[in-house]
Structure 1
């Protein structure tokens, strides 16, 4: 095929469109993937409704799950017919919301045979985000293979604000696997049992009037060394004290997108709110994870499929967005994101028919 269908954002807050884009033959080290499933993400919403880092028309999507249909020269690990998944984002030919994507081999892992492809699509972007944020922004070592000894800060309190989010769920599972034992998180009460099963030692209702005091009491039960965590919400801002490190996933959402209101964003995690003196605030930029050469070669190709295959991390819960056409499915997922219809779930949908 010389061209194939792709979902694009064509204007700020406009309806999604499907256009024909060139099919790029794989070069050295690349494979061509028939994209079968994807998961829509908040970044897709930010780009459609806020025009964040967009030049219209722009192909959307970063979570790929599909089948290798062609391999380029020098590809050593993947073969035609392999079922693969990965986080791809850098240029149009890699994007997930198109029926064919041309992707470097190192950005893809083989889906374990017992994992449905649509479930695998919930992992890549936020699995990568967790490894990058914990190591680069919170300075917590996550060596591979995992050592037998406990990490230095195994008993230090780590707060994950919004544990039911996709990032929060993978963070809990990965931290617990590496031996971090004092994991605190917040969520609506209906998610508390799930988050405890994923490794949280204590879960708090973020809407409770005494949530700050309760979390600080729980944190004091640890060894007191180096509070780390993800900030968010007014209470999340009030808690970290001097010597704490806070990692905030960018962009900071100053105002959410709604059906009738445009969103507002900030890329300044430190200046967006009034943090206490002595708090180190880091804005998480997942797209720079390839600066780590080891993660570039191993994170998606080896670490991600291994932890998924061994049951160390479990896919997010998800809802399948149905529709008779590619555009209907993509638009349905976008609309549900905007209306914030899911809590603790991802929206997944079929790309190729």
Structure 2
């Protein structure tokens, strides 16, 4: 079988490694993509430094942007040469940090005209996360096509903790587009104006000691909270001061008990309900985006139809990108990992070119 280059985590907290991976021909409804760009995520750091759900060596990355080079016999959405972007994660062959990824065609959408791979690759994993977390964990509707009638939850307070994160930005844009108008967001003060421009009604600086009291002054009861940070002390402990009986909290797993640093290994928990002391009647759920395909409509249409149309029609704007440079695939991947560990990123995505192969 043909081989290609891939970047993998080879041991906990070790430098990333360059390995030879099998170039897997597509079967059924799969397609093989030449991976040109990706966007790093905190999960990459959790897997490398914390060994989260990893069996070494594991190829990293779940955001793919590139060109289709081969289609399976039952594929119906794409042909060779199509420019695509998407979110795939289940097996090594589907991962992003490699020359070629072989993925189900339902995990891809066509790149709309007028957009670059660098812009588009900021969308798929986190827009999918928003649709899944809002509908599955918060229990709020996001019907497709978008309803034309007034949203009955238009004035219901919804708190987005970590509004300037990639997920936070997409949450604000998507919820606003679906008619949720009473959106509260936390972020550094320098991001407040932008967050208001994409749907936040009120913004709060998460570093203020009385931020919980500020939120409650604006909204005495907040029934829905989406925690895009999921830090035991820096988000959940403060959200617990806001949440009251009947509040539903959805936190993007894992719960970070201790952050990774250059000197210390991280510590994680998957127990959102037990992470902090909640008021009676608060339901705290951990978001597991990788189960979004349990929804039959989402599995078939979310990435193939919905996400590309959100981008093409301007319902969502891509995250700002910081292009990570490096002479090789491995250098770019390691540089992005180091930036994640140092938390040297805010309000933007770390985006970088993957394959060094030049296809005709």
Task: Work out whether the TM-score is over 0.5.
Answer: yes
CA–CA separation in structure 2 for the residues paired with 1:198 and 1:290? 28
Q: Displacement of 1:217 after TM fit?
A: 1.9
**Residue 322 of structure 2: which of 319, 322, 342 is its match?**
319
- Once the two structures are superposed, the pairs formed by residues 20-39 of structure 1 within 5 Å of their partners are 20-39=20-39
Q: Displacement of 1:215 after TM fit?
A: 0.8
- Equivalence for 2:279: 276
1:257-288 CA-partner distances (Å, limit 9, x unpaired): 00010000000000011111110111100000
- Equivalence for 1:192: 192
* Matching of residue 348 in structure 1 with residue 344 in structure 2: no
1:52-78 CA-partner distances (Å, limit 9, x unpaired): 000000000000000001111121111
**Residue 229 of structure 1: which of 208, 225, 232 is its match?**
225
TM-score (norm. length: structure 2) = 0.95
- Equivalence for 1:65: 65
- Equivalence for 2:120: 120
1:136-193 CA-partner distances (Å, limit 9, x unpaired): 0000011100110122211100000110011100000000000001000100000001
CA–CA separation in structure 2 for the residues paired with 1:79 and 1:22? 22
1:304-328 CA-partner distances (Å, limit 9, x unpaired): 0000011111111111111001110
Number of aligned positions between the proteins: 349
Q: Displacement of 1:210 after TM fit?
A: 2.6
- Aligned partners of 2:236 and 2:276 also within 8 Å: no
* Matching of residue 244 in structure 1 with residue 247 in structure 2: yes
**Residue 306 of structure 2: which of 299, 303, 307 is its match?**
303
- Equivalence for 2:230: none
Q: Displacement of 1:83 after TM fit?
A: 0.7
- Equivalence for 1:50: 50
CA–CA separation in structure 2 for the residues paired with 1:207 and 1:339? 18
* Matching of residue 155 in structure 1 with residue 158 in structure 2: no
- Aligned partners of 1:112 and 1:305 also within 8 Å: yes
- Equivalence for 2:98: 98
TM-score (norm. length: structure 1) = 0.97
- Aligned partners of 1:150 and 1:178 also within 8 Å: no
* Runs of 5+ consecutive residues of structure 1 not aligned to the other structure: none
- Once the two structures are superposed, the pairs formed by residues 246-265 of structure 1 within 5 Å of their partners are 246-265=249-268
CA–CA separation in structure 2 for the residues paired with 1:195 and 1:52? 31
- Aligned partners of 1:62 and 1:88 also within 8 Å: yes
- Equivalence for 1:330: 333
* Matching of residue 84 in structure 1 with residue 84 in structure 2: yes
CA–CA separation in structure 2 for the residues paired with 1:236 and 1:114? 40
CA–CA separation in structure 2 for the residues paired with 1:324 and 1:316? 25
SS in 1 for 2:18: strand
Name which of structure 1's ranges 209-218 and 128-137 shifts more when overlaid on structure 2: 209-218
CA–CA separation in structure 2 for the residues paired with 1:173 and 1:89? 25
* Runs of 5+ consecutive residues of structure 2 not aligned to the other structure: 228-234
SS in 2 for 1:38: strand
SS in 2 for 1:36: strand
**Residue 291 of structure 1: which of 280, 294, 302 is its match?**
294
- Tell me the C-alpha RMSD between the 2 structures: 1.0
